[in-house]
Structure formats: C-alpha cells, structure tokens
C-alpha cells in the first residue's frame, strides 16, 4: 500500500477554512503594521502569510480537492480586499496548491526542506504574478527592478516570517491531521 492509502480521512475542513481566514486578516494587519518599514520606494517587502499557509497545508494535510477550492476563495478574498485587481491570486494560489500537492510525496517535512520549498514557491509565484501583471498592463517594471526591489526584500521578510511561524504552524497542522 502506498503512503496515500494509509492516511486517515481528514475531518478538519472547518479548521482549515478558519486558519486561512485568520491568515488573510493577519497578513493584512502585518502589512499595515510593518508597511512603514517594508514598503519604501527602494524596496517593497510584501508578507505572504496566506500563500505560505496554503503551501504548508498542501504538504501537511492529506491530499484532498477541497484545498484547491479554499485557495480559490482565499485568492478571491485577497484580491477583493488587498490588491483591487481580481484574478491574479484567484488563479495563482490554486495553482501553487496543486503543484505543492503534486510534489508533496517528495518533500521531506523538515524545517530546511520546507523553508527551501517556500522560497521556491514564493519565487515562482512572484515571477508569475509579475508576468500576469505585465500582460494585463497593471505593472511595467523591468526584471532587474523586480528582483532587487520586490523579490529579494520580499523573500527576506517571508523567510523571517516562516522561521517565526514554522513550529507553531507545524504542530497545529500535525494535531489537525491526527484528529
């Protein structure tokens, strides 16, 4: 039997929805609170707590289709309240969840591997976000500006947030999985 067949059915769907909603609110609060330091003309470090939670959920919670639907709803809420442009996160977040779910069997659940996984997914997300914004005419910065002003500071902030949130979130997701 494969590892997927040994997993018990997951029953914490309500908790996952609550966690995602809390992450959306917390991300907005952190961005507002730290915005005066993180969002300057020379660097824009945007916290991505909800996306990091979605990646962790895709890795720790048993593979179920509902998580993609939750990612669509969370992306739509995020786009509605924070970006003002519907569609980017509504499209990209479910795609990230799908990819993380497909790679799940190959990702060891250790802090180092999960941190590197977060960096890879956040970088890919930022590049796709840039391309979609450029395609729609919403943004028009060059690749150098994207990397130095947006991507590098954003990754630095999100690595710090991951280091702070990893242990409590890991413990919570393991407890949810064991219910």
pLDDT digits (tens, 9 = 90+) for 120-177: 999 999 999 888 888 887 777 788 888 888 899 999 999 999 999 999 999 998 888 8
**pTM for this structure?**
0.88
Answer whether residue 4 is part of any domain.
Answer: no
Please say if the pLDDT value at position 12 is more than 80.
no
Question: Using the 8-state DSSP alphabet, how is residue 39 labeled?
Answer: B
Nearest to 78 by CA among 118, 20, 158, 11: 20
72 found inside a domain: yes
Is 2 a domain residue? Answer: no
- 5 belongs to a structural domain: no
57 part of a folded domain: yes
Ranking 5-9, 37-41, 117-121, 148-152 by mean pLDDT, the lowest is 5-9
- Pair 131, 137: CB distance under 8 Å: no
When pLDDT is averaged across residues 97-122 and rounded to a whole number, the result is 95
Q: Is residue 1 part of a domain?
A: no
Q: What is the pLDDT of residue 143?
A: 82
Does residue 3 lie in a domain region?
no
Give the residues across from 44 on adjacent strands: 39
Token pair belonging to 171? 């413990």
Question: Domain count of the chain?
Answer: 1
Buried b (16+ CB within 10 A) or exposed e, 99-117: ebbeebeeeeeeeeebeeb
Residue 34's domain comprises 10-178
Distance, in Å, from the CA atom of 146 to the CA atom of 148, rounded to the nearest integer, reads 6
Query: Does 77 score more than 60 pLDDT?
Result: yes
Q: Do the domain assignments include residue 54?
A: yes
For 13, residues 6+ apart whose C-beta sits below 8 A from its C-beta are: 66
- The tens digit of pLDDT for each residue in 42-76 reads 888 889 999 999 999 999 988 778 899 999 999 99
Residue 5: per-residue pLDDT: 47
Q: pLDDT band at residue 8, thresholds of 50, 70 and 90?
A: low
Exposure string of 41-76, with b = 16+ CB inside 10 Å and e = fewer, is: eebbbbbbbbbbbbbbbbbbbeeeeebbebbbebbe
Q: Region 102-117: what's the mean pLDDT? A: 94
Q: Identify the pLDDT of residue 178.
A: 78
Task: List, for residues 14-28, the tens digit of each pLDDT value.
Answer: 888 999 999 999 998
């Amino acid at each position: 039997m494969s590892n997927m067949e040994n997993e018990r059915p997951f029953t914490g769907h309500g908790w996952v929805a609550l966690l995602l909603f809390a992450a959306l609110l917390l991300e907005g609060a952190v961005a507002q609170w730290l915005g005066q330091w993180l969002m300057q003309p020379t660097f824009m470090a945007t916290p991505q707590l909800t996306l990091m939670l979605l990646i962790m959920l895709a890795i720790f919670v048993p593979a179920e289709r509902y998580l993609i639907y939750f990612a669509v709803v969370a992306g739509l809420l995020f786009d509605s309240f924070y970006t003002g442009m519907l569609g980017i996160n509504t499209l990209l977040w479910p795609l990230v969840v799908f990819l993380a779910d497909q790679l799940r069997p190959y990702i060891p659940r250790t802090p180092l591997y999960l941190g590197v996984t977060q960096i890879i997914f956040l970088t890919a997300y930022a590049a796709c976000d840039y391309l979609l914004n450029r395609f729609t005419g919403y943004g028009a910065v060059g690749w150098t500006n994207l990397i130095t002003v947006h991507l590098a500071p954003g990754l630095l902030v999100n690595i710090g947030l991951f280091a702070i949130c990893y242990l409590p979130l890991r413990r919570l997701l393991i407890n949810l999985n064991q219910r």
